[in-house]
Chains A and B, each alone.
Chain A
Amino acid sequence: MAQNIACLIKFVDPQLKHDELDTEVHYLTEDLRDLDGMSQIRFDPILEVRDAAETRVGIRFFAHSDLLVSILRRLRDRLYYKPLETWFLFQISDLNLQIRTDQAEDLVDLMATAQSGLLFSPVRDYLAEAETYSRTQGELSPTELDNLNLLRQRLGLSAEQAELLNVRAVGPYKTQAEKRRYFDETTAAEFSRLRQIDADQPFAAKDPWPVLQELAENLALPIPEAEAIYQQHRQRYDEAKLKTEQQTAKTAVDASLVAETKAADAHQDQVQQAREHLEQYLSLCRQAMANSLYPSEFDQGRLDQARRLWDISIDEALTIEIAVRNELYGSLESAAGVDYSRLRDLLLQQAWQEADMETEAVILKALDRDMQPVTAATVQRLPAIDLATIDALWNRYSNKRFGFRAQQQVHRSQQQIQQDDRQQWLAFQQALGWREPPSLFYQGYRPYHDLDFSLEAPLGHLPTWRWCCPSLSDRYCLSLDVMAAVIHHLSLCMPLDPVPTPAVDPTAPTVLTGGQTRAV
């Protein structure tokens, strides 16, 4: 049954003259009549006396409630176009709506209300009843439908309208079965979405239950039923997830294994290449240092370039350089942590006296006794490695003339000649050129500075044992027990070959005569 609304529209703008008013009313009428379904409607003018003449100030008409929205829209558009203060009155059954405005926006709110249909109490009442029924069961039972039909007739609603309202009350899905199916589908979709998220970023997915619960409420689907459906999907999802995780873990392990093998291969290649580079660098170093202990500026530049090109660290390069230097110029091994490089430098330069003084310094350092001179008691503390290093350096740069081994050989040859212990040591010192034969007024000690610091010196003349002396300036004098202790320690540290025969060792007599010649 159609419901009619009484509409009254009146211009109250004080700026409008009466002839203008007439024109406005005319246009308004034309506008409204132009609307779909309004052509048959009769518009009654509202007449008022203005300036002693009767003028139309507005119109009055009855329209079907369905047309309300379009009427309001047309009125709103007019106000947008020309904001004239207007008085609107709509009578909807027992409801009176009055608006007096020149603002189009005020009509917009009214339009929204009209669109919802809630302005009309029959619809409102019917919907309320239908919703109450649907809330309890989620669908409308036949009895409930009968009740609603009764209500519809009483409210004067059409069957079609009632059907629409029923659908709206129950939600988009009319029956319980349909709702369940819809909920089931939604839940399934939700879980498949979760799976997608899991694949992209694990552990990011949230429990969809709160959302689904809301959906169930909106659908008017009983919660226990909805939860059952949800649990079912949940279980399936969890199983699948577990399986996927296992699979992912497995593939991850496989992948890491593959990666490791690859990395190992790459590493091996790198190591191989690095080793090659190091070897190349080593040979370059050898080349650079073949002629000088420290490479020339040019060679150093080449080495530096090579080091960078082959990506060798400074530490590695330094280690190689030191190794090459030791290989080419004599090793500097030390058990006492003493640096023998200065000694090597001096010996390379044939600076014999300075080398001899440096020998004292390194021996006293190796002894580590506050630089106190070596005595018969402390000589045994000198490490064999250090003595061997010093001996090797002296031996190497003096063409086997100097060094501890040479001195030991001289001592052994004297041992074979002299039987008396005292005579033996005297002869030993003379053979080395450290002493002259004593006379009545002259003990025969030579001052240290008077010794022969050259390659013409007797075999074993250097290095001197000045590290045993408390004082040097007026005489280079060694006590017998110190000499015995040093020779003993040397024989332990660097034993000579066990087959010394006078015939094999021709140097001894020569040296002895040399010493004696000197004395005479």
Chain B
Amino acid sequence: MLSNTFNSPTFNSHLEESLSELSLLLDEEDWEAADRLTADLLLDAVVQNYSGEPGLSPETEPRHRPHLSTEALAGLPCQLLHALDDRWQRASGGHFGFSAQLQVYAATLETIDFDPALRNWSTPHPFFEEVGWLMLLSLRPVGFLRFYSWLDFDLEAPRGHLPALWYWRVPRIASLQMGGFLTGQGGGFGDLARLDAMMLRLSRCHQLGG
């Protein structure tokens, strides 16, 4: 099991630094750098979780180095998610951040027509369309995500467009499985399990906050 060593003092002081650096980047509206830092911090937390119980990590992650897998997302520390979301929301006036994404996601859940067999191929999850992560081809979007470097790193982007790298940064092999081009930086069809894992995690953490 992933243990939570989020509260260890060394991690905290390091985290404080990183969070103030994030605030700085966000204030400068350097969205891309802020997005990278956000993904780094999430990955750090995952690494921390695995190193907390070293006996378990080889079993859970046999081949890859730790990445933001479905299981890893489900175990992200709520405190960290709140902290990151708080910085993003404040800098963008609620336009970017996990909360914005969760709101968009929850709204799409109300309308989505679930068809487990077909959904991934013909129709993308409406969330991708809403937040502007889809590659727009001709008139109709297909379930094919943009390359990471093609995202809009400014406030003109749709609501919940950023942070995005937590979703794009996957092992090359996984991106191939999703129909991408082995870049590990997007392109290909989204992995709904990871998206939902993140959103589920966010909503669970929200309940903790009360």
Contact = CB atoms under 8 A, between A and B. Distances in A.
B207 A470 contact: no
Contact of B197 (A364, A445, A450, A471): A471
B74 A372 contact: yes
A474 B120 CA distance: 10
A447 B75 CA distance: 21
Nearest to A450: B114
B71 A470 contact: yes
A303 B166 CA distance: 55
Contact of A474 (B4, B71, B116, B199): B116
Interface string B65-86: 0000011011101110000000
Interface in A419-469: 442, 445-447, 449-450, 469
Contacts of A364: 204, 207-208
A371 B207 contact: yes
A40 interface: no
A450 B6 CA distance: 36
Interface string B1-17: 11010100000000000
Contacts of B195: 473
Given A370-B77, A471-B193, A474-B196, A361 B207 contact: yes
B4 A370 contact: yes
A211 to B, nearest CB: 79
A475 interface: yes
Interface residues of B, number: 31
| Main SS class of interface, A | loop
A475 B115 CA distance: 11
Nearest to B120: A474
B4 A369 contact: yes
Given A447-B116, A470-B197, A470-B200, A370 B208 contact: yes
Interface in A349-376: 360-361, 364-365, 369-373, 375
Given A364-B204, A371-B78, A473-B192, A378 B1 contact: yes
B4 A373 contact: no
Nearest to A374: B1
Given A449-B109, A469-B74, A471-B74, 18 more contacts: A361-B204, A361-B207, A365-B207, A365-B208, A370-B6, A370-B78, A372-B74, A442-B117, A445-B116, A446-B116, A469-B200, A470-B73, A470-B197, A471-B200, A472-B196, A473-B200, A474-B119, A474-B192
